[in-house]
Amino acid sequence: MASRRKGKGIMVPDAAPSELPEDIPSGCKYKLSWRESKDKKCVLLEIFFQGRNGYCWTVVLNRMISAHLYIHQKVRKLLRLSCKHLFASIEEKFDDGFLKNYKGVKVFLKENGLVLEEECKCVLGKKEINTVACDKVKDKTTFKIRELIIVEGNEVDEKQIIKLLNTHGVIAVHITVDEKYKTSKKDEIFYGTTSGKGNENHMVLLTGYDTTKDGVHFFEYQNTWGEKWGGDGGYGKFARKISLPKGRQSLIKAYMYPELLDEVFDVRG
């Protein structure tokens, strides 16, 4: 499919509206992937392996904010922000480490902010991580945001998500996974859980969307289970709503993205 250029370097498919999937907003690309380098610059950090820690949400939020700071030219380089610091600072967690709600993390990102991995002194204890040593470090650079926009439940609109991927960058999404999901293979598309057994809350970093040769519309994402998971270097795919059986809701339970401050950070090294 040919493309034409429409302002600020955005490539728009040369196609009649009837040829585009119904969830692609006007002016957006037919397909997109932030996994690919933009202007010869990589905007995503490498795949993270969370191990047995309930780290997925802190890894995803850290990497999302790092990417947005770089994409929107608030920093000169892609930053490594501390997962431990964010995880230790949020109290509203289940026993498995996943968030009970988003209120605490939203307030923390606005009022306290993230810190660089190299400046984090959080200590891993027998049962938890504590920030005592880290809090004593003076003059740490903190990366706050103006707002964390959170959309949940029936308010989730995949058309809006696709628009945000085009205009803002990568997005953190909350999905439910099962045992079968854990053994996903290359190019396998996840269509949701098949039973209530082994279902878990999970957060992934949405990096793009596309359509298979067979016409299946899907989202692409970066997982937090290491490069060996999924057969594609740690990346996976799940079906967009328009490719689910009629009547099924979006697999996305919630999504979130940051509104950045006007501040430009001078981080060297």
Q: Give the three-class secondary structure for 190.
A: strand
**How far apart (Å, rounded) are the C-alpha atoms in residues 36 and 58?**
23
**How far apart (Å, rounded) are the C-alpha atoms in residues 231 and 234?**
7
In a domain, 29, yes or no: no
* pLDDT at 66 > cutoff 70: yes
Query: Which CATH number is 193's domain given?
Result: 3.90.70.10
Which residues are registered as beta bridge partners of 237? 189, 220
In a domain, 3, yes or no: no
pLDDT at 95: 84
- Mean pLDDT, range 216-239, rounded to an integer: 95
The pLDDT confidence band at residue 16, using thresholds 50, 70 and 90, is very low
pLDDT at 15: 43
Query: Tokens 């606005």 sit at which residue?
Result: 110
- Mean pLDDT, range 99-108, rounded to an integer: 94
pLDDT at 268: 67
In a domain, 115, yes or no: yes
In a domain, 198, yes or no: yes
Residue-number span of the structural domain to which 50 is assigned: 43-259
In a domain, 184, yes or no: yes
**How far apart (Å, rounded) are the C-alpha atoms in residues 243 and 190?**
11
Q: Give the three-class secondary structure for 12.
A: strand
Does the global pTM surpass 0.85?
yes
In a domain, 268, yes or no: no
In a domain, 152, yes or no: yes
Domain count, the chain: 1
In a domain, 8, yes or no: no
pLDDT at 18: 54
- Mean pLDDT, range 91-109, rounded to an integer: 91
**How far apart (Å, rounded) are the C-alpha atoms in residues 70 and 76?**
7
* pLDDT at 188 > cutoff 60: yes
Summarize pLDDT for 122-163 with one digit per residue, the tens.
Answer: 876 655 677 777 777 777 889 999 999 999 999 999 999 999
What are residue 177's phi and psi, to 5 degrees?
A: -125, 165
